[in-house]
């Protein structure tokens, strides 16, 4: 079977599995957040993601809004539904140093309008949404009642954890009372989920479920029992789970239970792979996006803690086409995108700082050359070095130099690669050099659908349209003839 057919079958399989997820999000539209600022001299306003690949990174920024002024942020449907943070870096007067404050928000099927005093952005008397707003007001109401419900359970739990006569009738009555109240709480939680099922915030109710506890056992037995029942209340078929920030905290709680059992490094290295396999097998029964998120979660953990046994556990899941990990989804997107990045199409703009620290913007680049060559490369890539070594002396010839302006974009990320890049560019004077800090995960690599380096894109300098996408120095030279 040729590569094109293989890719076709792979994408068909992905689309079949994505149908439930796509249906759930099919009605999502771009939304706006209009912010009316008050109570400070001025403020920078940033919108930060709380989930996905841009977690804790700005999605949108407004450099300055003055007291009494307003600004409207447009949130792409790709970010929705979303749990986000509005960050204010405000000044109380013209000469004061900016001071930060943050407000968590939820946005889904409504545009939002927010009147805010950054100094008191989480005080309902000073900051409020428009009348009829649903997501945020519903979550505030739920959180207050949820706190009251859990407070009663917490008192009973503390009693059962600390009472000295675990064989007494009084203790047995305490266990029965706790279990009755726990089941009553779960019934209440279920009713709240049904009541608010059309709202994104109802997804967060899943994480409040309280699993049963084996009160009669030892501490180790209790922990093992909690692990066994940890996923009892979770709906892994809901793709919106991965749009929340809470899922990370919830999974950290699960892993920490294994950590309490890990008294030695050797035991840790055996228990944590088990934790991953158990959780992934549960998620595998649900939505492919949740399944993929779970594999991503443990991949990051095993990689950062150098748990080789864990990485081996992940191998079959990473090869599963139904497991929609971040990497698989990004590859799919870029494979589709490659079909649109062809000769005659408009090149995406590029905005990066060059080696002198100045902002470079492709659409603002002035040159007398007929062509601009974009060279995506890495000093840690042998094939890249072969390409650069072949292209550089050829491009430095006077007649070619007058025709072609080279913009070289490094996708190096590791300290070793960056040092090698910094040394190499000393030999490549005359080229415009810059480095995309997030490498192949950077915006520029994403915009140009770069999956691996080197990649060359030859542009018409006047129109910024693509002339050719040469795979080799020979094809590049041929494109200029």
The reply to whether 388 and 471 lie within a common domain is yes
**Within-domain flag for 196:** yes
Count of structural domains, the chain? 3
pLDDT value of residue 11: 40
**Within-domain flag for 21:** no
The reply to whether 348 and 312 lie within a common domain is no
Q: pLDDT-based confidence at 16, cuts 50/70/90?
A: very low
**Within-domain flag for 138:** no
**Within-domain flag for 183:** yes
The reply to whether 360 and 322 lie within a common domain is no
pLDDT value of residue 308: 86
Write the pLDDT tens digit of every residue in 101-144: 999 999 999 999 999 999 999 998 899 999 999 999 999 999 99
More confident residue, 451 or 112: 112
Q: pLDDT-based confidence at 382, cuts 50/70/90?
A: confident
Separation between Cα atoms, residue 343 and residue 469, nearest integer Å: 7
Domain with 369 in it: 344-479
pLDDT value of residue 195: 97
**Within-domain flag for 5:** no
pLDDT value of residue 25: 47
Q: Which residues contact 121 (CB under 8 A, 6 or more apart)?
A: 86, 88, 101, 102, 103, 127
Separation between Cα atoms, residue 481 and residue 476, nearest integer Å: 9
Within 10 A of 249 (CB to CB), how many other CB atoms are there? 10
pLDDT at 372 over 60: yes
pLDDT value of residue 196: 97
- Which of 60, 94, 129 finishes a domain? 129
pLDDT at 28 over 90: no
Mean pLDDT of 377-385: 90
The reply to whether 189 and 305 lie within a common domain is yes
Q: pLDDT-based confidence at 396, cuts 50/70/90?
A: very high
Separation between Cα atoms, residue 449 and residue 411, nearest integer Å: 13
The reply to whether 72 and 177 lie within a common domain is no
The reply to whether 192 and 240 lie within a common domain is yes
Q: Which residues contact 282 (CB under 8 A, 6 or more apart)?
A: 231, 234, 236
**Within-domain flag for 228:** yes
Write the pLDDT tens digit of every residue in 287-313: 999 999 999 999 989 888 888 899 999
pLDDT at 336 over 70: yes
The reply to whether 164 and 312 lie within a common domain is yes
Q: What are phi and psi of 145, to 5 degrees?
A: -70, -35
- Report the CATH number at residue 75: 2.60.40.2890
Please give the structure tokens belonging to residue 316: 């079959």
Predicted TM-score (pTM) of this structure: 0.70
Write the pLDDT tens digit of every residue in 40-61: 999 999 999 988 766 777 889 9
The reply to whether 187 and 320 lie within a common domain is yes
More confident residue, 14 or 101: 101
């Amino acid at each position: 079977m040729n590569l094109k057919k293989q890719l076709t079958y792979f994408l068909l399989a992905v689309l079949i599995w994505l149908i439930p997820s796509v249906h759930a999000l099919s009605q999502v539209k771009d939304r706006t957040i209009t912010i009316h600022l008050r109570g400070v001299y001025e403020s920078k306003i940033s919108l930060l993601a709380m989930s996905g690949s841009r977690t804790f990174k700005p999605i949108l920024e407004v450099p300055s809004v003055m007291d009494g002024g307003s600004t409207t942020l447009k949130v792409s449907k790709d970010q929705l539904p979303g749990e986000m943070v509005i960050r204010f870096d405000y000044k109380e007067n013209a000469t004061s140093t900016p001071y930060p404050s943050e407000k968590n928000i939820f946005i889904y099927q409504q545009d939002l309008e927010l009147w805010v005093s950054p100094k008191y952005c989480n005080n309902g008397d000073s900051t409020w949404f428009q009348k009829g707003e649903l997501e945020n007001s519903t979550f505030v109401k739920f959180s207050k009642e949820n706190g009251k419900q859990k407070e009663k359970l917490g008192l009973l739990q503390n009693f059962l954890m600390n009472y000295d006569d675990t064989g007494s009738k009084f203790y047995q009555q305490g266990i029965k009372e706790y279990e009755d109240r726990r089941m009553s709480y779960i019934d209440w939680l279920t009713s709240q989920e049904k009541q608010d099922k059309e709202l994104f915030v109802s997804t967060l109710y899943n994480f409040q479920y309280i699993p049963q506890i084996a009160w009669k056992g030892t501490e180790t037995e209790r922990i093992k029992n909690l692990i066994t029942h940890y996923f009892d209340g979770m709906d892994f078929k809901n793709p919106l789970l991965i749009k929340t920030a809470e899922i990370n905290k919830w999974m950290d709680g699960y892993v920490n239970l294994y950590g309490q059992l890990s008294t030695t490094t050797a035991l840790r290295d055996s228990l944590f792979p088990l934790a991953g396999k158990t959780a992934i097998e549960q998620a595998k029964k649900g939505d492919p996006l949740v399944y993929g998120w779970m594999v991503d979660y443990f991949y990051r953990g095993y990689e950062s803690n150098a748990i080789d046994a864990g990485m081996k556990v992940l191998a079959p899941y990473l090869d599963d086409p139904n497991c929609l990990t971040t990497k698989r989804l990004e590859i799919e997107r870029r494979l589709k995108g490659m079909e649109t990045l062809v000769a005659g199409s408009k090149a995406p703009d590029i905005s990066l700082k060059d080696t002198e620290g100045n902002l470079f913007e492709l659409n603002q680049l002035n040159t007398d050359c007929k062509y601009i060559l974009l060279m995506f490369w890495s000093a840690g890539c042998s094939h890249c070095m072969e390409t650069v070594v072949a292209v550089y002396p050829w491009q430095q010839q006077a007649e070619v130099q007058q025709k072609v302006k080279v913009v070289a974009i490094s996708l190096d990320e590791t300290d070793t690669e960056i040092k090698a890049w910094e040394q190499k560019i000393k030999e490549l004077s005359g080229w415009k050099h810059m480095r995309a800090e997030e490498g192949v995960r950077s915006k520029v690599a994403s915009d140009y659908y770069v999956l691996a380096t080197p990649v060359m894109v030859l542009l018409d300098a006047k129109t910024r349209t693509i002339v050719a996408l040469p795979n080799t120095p020979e094809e590049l030279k041929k494109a200029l003839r």
